[in-house]
Amino acid sequence: MPGPIWSDLGVAPVARRGKSPPMLGFHRDTQGRACFSGTPLGNLLAAAGTGSPAYLYDLDAIEQEARAMVEAFGDPRHEVAYAIKANSAASIIRTVVRAGCGGEVVSGGELDLALAAGVPRERLMMTSVAKKDAEIDRALAAGIRAIQIESVEEIPRVAARARALGSVARVSFRINPGVEVDTNAKVATGHERAKFGIGLDELGLAWERADAEPAVTVVGVGAHVGSTLKVVESYLDSARVVCQVAKARLAGGKALELVDFGGGFGIDYGMGPLPSPAAFLAAARALAEQEGLGSLGLVAEPGRSMVASHGVLVASVVQEKRVQKGRWVFIDAAMNDLVRPAMYGARHRIEPLDSLPSGSAVRVAGPVCESSDDFGEHVLAEPAPDAVVIRDAGAYGFSMASEYNGRPLPAEIFVRGGRVASVSPSPGPDAWVARRLGA
Ligand SMILES: Cc1ncc(COP(=O)(O)O)c(C=O)c1O
């Protein structure tokens, strides 16, 4: 007998007095319609009036996810720093901040957005292998928790900007731990050929340079080895190297405030359950304590696992095409709206919006003039439904969207309590035409 439908969503129901708990995150109602909090996504789309393609996000599910992570870290000194690149919508940033998270940013734009959306400055980490001077200046002026230094060459650059502004830069070394993890090569960042982080062989020189710079204080050491990690052990492999480096630094009589183990927790894209983010975070905390680093602040930088499962992309079916070897179903969402399949070979489940999947395998694609604009094989009835839902699209979906092929950015719809809380409409094709005419 199948369990309750929310049990495989990784999201427990919120108890409300006198009412049965709402089902948070993506689920189907008794008629088979795709829903958030019991409300069909089709109704939410109609209420928002945006048309398709449109992203919908369940803010209640995101908040619950964020709270579970903060609780798993279980100490106000420890920081779940939401990686804003995963989804930079202010409604989402505000939601995770309310749940107790800080933030991790990778550009001056993300920094300004995070501050304006209410992430406390002292809870922000900034990362990037090539920060421009203006971006370093913004981070220094804001007084964020730490600028993550990714190379020996960056140390004098940050020091020079701090001297120019009459401040002292709080920095954390992002090391490259030389760890290979089981993930797509395009999101593996902690191996020796990657552009990220200070190599272990460069570390001695990096400490020397930083210690000789009065305008720089090293407050931490960290790493991020990649995304979509499937096992906690991969996270710990990197975390152990970070701990060794931190311990050696402390043994040399230097102070440290934090160790940062990065993000990267995978989610179930339909291939079977993975360890929960809480399992990664609890293991990280246990490791730091075991290593005698329990008195330091721990930082983790999850992005995908906070939002991916709680966002979907809804698209309309435009047309079908029969060929000798099967059937194509063309939809009005494309690789410009969700690039993960084209870029990483990622698979997102595509299902009918208003009924349970049934029928035969068809190939689903968008209208963009690239063979890689192909969402793969999915089960859809013949004729195809009017609309489909592309699941697990909350992370690296809208934030990687482009206007390629003259296609405007998609709409975004934010849902709270089963109702539309706010809408970010698509700028529409006219805005694109007007801008390109001015180019
Ligand atoms: C430095 C850093 N931290 C955190 C993240 C977030 O990773 P994820 O979304 O897989 O949790 C990334 C992703 O690219 C990153 O580069």
| Token pair for 18 | 């006198």
**Sequence-ordered list of residues with C-beta below 8 angstroms from that of 154, at least 6 positions apart, any chain:** 131
369 is catalytic: yes
How are beta strands 146-149 and 124-126 bridged, if at all?
A: parallel
Q: Whole-angstrom Cα distance, residue 52 to residue 133?
A: 40
**46, 38, 15: which is closest to 316 by C-alpha?**
46
Kindly name the residue from 35, 101, 243, 369 that is annotated as catalytic: 369
Residue 303 Cβ inside 6 Å of ligand 1? The answer reads: yes
> Is domain 5-58+309-437 given the CATH code 2.40.37.10 in the classification?
yes
Q: Whole-angstrom Cα distance, residue 152 to residue 135?
A: 18
Q: Whole-angstrom Cα distance, residue 386 to residue 398?
A: 23
| Token pair for 169 | 């830069």
**Sequence-ordered list of residues with C-beta below 8 angstroms from that of 108, at least 6 positions apart, any chain:** 132, 134, 135, 138, 139
CA 377 to centroid of ligand 1, rounded, Å: 28
CA 308 to centroid of ligand 1, rounded, Å: 13
pLDDT attached to residue 409: 98
pLDDT attached to residue 189: 67
CB contact at 8 A, 409 and 61: no
Q: Whole-angstrom Cα distance, residue 268 to residue 264?
A: 13
Q: What is the DSSP letter of 109?
A: H
Which ligand 1 atom is the nearest neighbour of the CA of 127? 1
Mean pLDDT for back-to-back runs of 10 residues, the chain (439 residues):
32 48 90 97 98 98 98 94 98 98 98 98 97 98 98 98 98 92 67 86 97 98 93 95 98 97 97 96 97 97 98 98 94 98 97 96 97 97 96 98 98 98 97 97
Q: Whole-angstrom Cα distance, residue 88 to residue 67?
A: 18
Residue 391 Cβ inside 6 Å of ligand 1? The answer reads: no
pTM: 0.94
How are beta strands 297-300 and 350-352 bridged, if at all?
A: unpaired
Kindly list the distances between the CA atom of residue 141 and the CA atoms of 165, 293, 346, 392, in Å, as whole numbers in the listed order: 8, 30, 39, 37
Region of residue 100 (left: phi > 0; alpha: psi -120 to 50; beta: else): left
| Token pair for 298 | 């721990």
| Token pair for 85 | 């690149």
Nearest CA to ligand 1 atom 12: 263
The distance in angstroms from the start CA to the end CA of the chain is: 60
Q: CA gyration radius for the chain? A: 23
At residue 346, the 3 state secondary structure works out as: coil
Q: Whole-angstrom Cα distance, residue 7 to residue 143?
A: 42
pLDDT attached to residue 191: 75
Class of domain 74-302: alpha beta
- AA identity, residue 150: E
**Sequence-ordered list of residues with C-beta below 8 angstroms from that of 59, at least 6 positions apart, any chain:** 91, 92, 95, 414, 415, 416, 421
Residue 264 Cβ inside 6 Å of ligand 1? The answer reads: yes
Residue 83 Cβ inside 6 Å of ligand 1? The answer reads: yes
Q: Whole-angstrom Cα distance, residue 285 to residue 73?
A: 7
What is the per-residue burial (b if ≥16 Cβ within 10 Å, else e) of 18-32?
eeeebbbbbbbeeeb
Q: Whole-angstrom Cα distance, residue 135 to residue 111?
A: 9
Per the document, the length of the chain is 439
Residue 281 Cβ inside 6 Å of ligand 1? The answer reads: no
pLDDT attached to residue 19: 62
Residue 197 Cβ inside 6 Å of ligand 1? The answer reads: no
**56, 38, 26: which is closest to 423 by C-alpha?**
56
Domain ranges of the chain: 5-58+309-437, 74-302
Which ligand 1 atom is the nearest neighbour of the CA of 86? 9
Q: Whole-angstrom Cα distance, residue 34 to residue 49?
A: 18
Which ligand 1 atom is the nearest neighbour of the CA of 265? 11
37: phi then psi, degrees, rounded to nearest 5: 45, 40
CA 227 to centroid of ligand 1, rounded, Å: 6
How are beta strands 311-323 and 54-58 bridged, if at all?
A: antiparallel
| Token pair for 309 | 């499962």
